[in-house]
Amino acid sequence: MPVVSAAQALPAHIIEEIVSYIYTLQQPSEDIIDFESPHRPVKLIPLLGICSRWRYIVCAIFYHSVILCIDKPNTFEIYKSHLLRMEEAIENKCEHYICHIDMVININDFCQHWDIHSSNHASILKKCGPLPTVHIMEAYIIQECQLEDDKSIITDRPLEDCLKDIDSNIHTFADALEEILPNRARVEVFRDTIDSYLDTDKPIEEIVTRLNSIINRHTTQLILLNMRFTKHLLTDLPNDSLQIISLVDEVLPKTHVALIQRNINSLEQLYICGTDDYSINSIIIDDASKNNICIYPRLRRLHISECVASNKTINQSTADPFPQLESLECEGKFPFHSTGVLKQGRSHICKLVIYLNDELMEHLTKDGIFTKNAFAQLRSVTLCIDRFDSSNTFNNMNMLVAKAFNLCESTHKIKFSGIKLKNIVKDISELNVSEKLHHLDVRATPLTIDMVIKVLYACPRLLVADIYLQKDPDCWDRGVPANSLLKCYQNEYSDLNFSVLRLNLKKIKFPTIRRASEFILLLVDIVSSITHVRLSRGYSLDMKRVVKSIRTVRKRPAYVGHTKLDNVKFTAKS
């Protein structure tokens, strides 16, 4: 085939880079459903027609993720044109490119008789033939009961008939999965929590408890959201087979605890969301002895979110259940009543997310955990305030943060989440944390341009800063600042040296787009080390229009001859 364009002559690795870049530009504006559904990458469609080489490379990315949804339930109908359906990949003979399948499973379907002419998940999968490239499968389980007609599916049939169909259909579905998707190593199962009369119906419970059949015996990553069929998994999955477990539930059932403990020697990452501290502690208590601690020898990451306090008595221990732990993220109440996890973890924890309150600080201080340089390997710290602790007044927050700074002396990244620092310039400049700091995230604290300059100057090795920039509260001017004001700022800070390269403006608050663009460019002109500015959120301001306005401001006399500004990249989050 003759070359008719320069694009056709490009090497394959360059084409891959171009296609990947264009693909990443098309990010979904919002989650279609509770898990991230595969969007149709429309920006890649023109590239499919360039030539056969381009088509081969584009198809591998275009059809990487698809969705299998049989009955187009009302919940997803409005998004149909945005989703890349599996049937389209089959029709275009591109199913062999698929690596990730999302399935929307309407549990009403399993209560109906599947014959050879039925359109169901099993029949569509079998049209493909084996897909050994698929390693990720997400199942989103819904119960569609908005329509009056749906009641007849469940209620007008004898229970015994429903159970027979359920048994047969799930068996057929499981066989299809084993035949077509034999290598599914990561399985995610989400159950929609729709309040309806169907929630307690026997057929529904029968379906949910038998869906363990979609889990492959070779699965290494398991994510469960509102699913409690773990009892069957305990017999179906071999011990020490899972490397990653993620559980989202208001209560951590004993079966979930047993699932975690049965994978104690293989588990590398554990994510638990929406439970209490008693349930969290149960994973490290040996049920056989009640005194011994379960040791997770390979666990490297433990992420606990939305943890709340319980009124139950929790066993105390000073042993370290996670000797290889590198990342500990505890959002909410710190779940371990004993400080052993932190005390023993000082030699190996590299990343720490912790919510501060008086009770926790008292324990940590008493055990000497907040002494200087106690965490030898710590590189990233996120300090938060427990919003459920009524004692955390504004002044108390700053006192807690000042104590916690001892954690940060060797860190390269510090993030303050939900904490407004009252004396941020003083806190940052007077403490030793600034000497090694590469990344500072203070997006929760509104800062004027003067405060931003002083904070960035106080960190001589800083490379990245996440900032909340606002107008001076004492100045309500909405107009264009005079050239004399710009010159005054430039002269005042002309002798300062900075190291920061990337400035992420997570929030900006100014009365007008022009006013915002004026002070952003002035800040970048003064902090001359900056090479990239990323604008994320501007309340009522359009960030793309702010970037466009910056180009206009650049032409002002105050910036004539300031050629470094020509090399600064300004981008806006869409």
Please tell me whether residue 327 adopts helix, strand or coil conformation: strand
Below-70 pLDDT ranges, the chain: 1-4, 25-37, 71-81, 116-117, 143-159, 192-212, 228-235, 250-251, 287-291, 311-318, 337-339, 370, 373, 386-398, 406-407, 430-434, 473-478, 574
Q: Which fold has domain 64-237?
A: Rossmann fold (3.40.50)
Q: CA torsion sign, 117 to 121 to 124 to 130?
A: negative
Note the pLDDT of residue 389.
61
Report H helices in 211-251: 230-236
**Tens-digit pLDDT profile for residues 14-43:** 888 888 877 776 554 433 333 456 777 878
Are residues 476 and 512 in contact, defined by beta-carbon separation less than 8 angstroms? Answer: no
Helix 513-526 vs helix 543-553: angle between axes, to the nearest 10 degrees? Answer: 60
Note the pLDDT of residue 496.
93
**Residue 203 burial (CB < 10 Å; 0-12/13-18/19+)?**
buried
pTM of the model: 0.78
The DSSP string of 34-52 is: SS---B--GGGGGGGGS-H
Cα–Cα distance measured from residue 349 to residue 378, given in angstroms and rounded to the nearest whole number: 6
Note the pLDDT of residue 29.
41
Helix 52-62 vs helix 12-25: angle between axes, to the nearest 10 degrees? Answer: 40
Helix or strand holding residue 127 (H, E): helix 121-128
247, β-bridge pairs:
224, 272
**Tens-digit pLDDT profile for residues 387-396:** 656 555 555 6
Residue ranges of the domains in the chain? 1-62, 64-237, 457-574
Please tell me whether residue 244 adopts helix, strand or coil conformation: strand
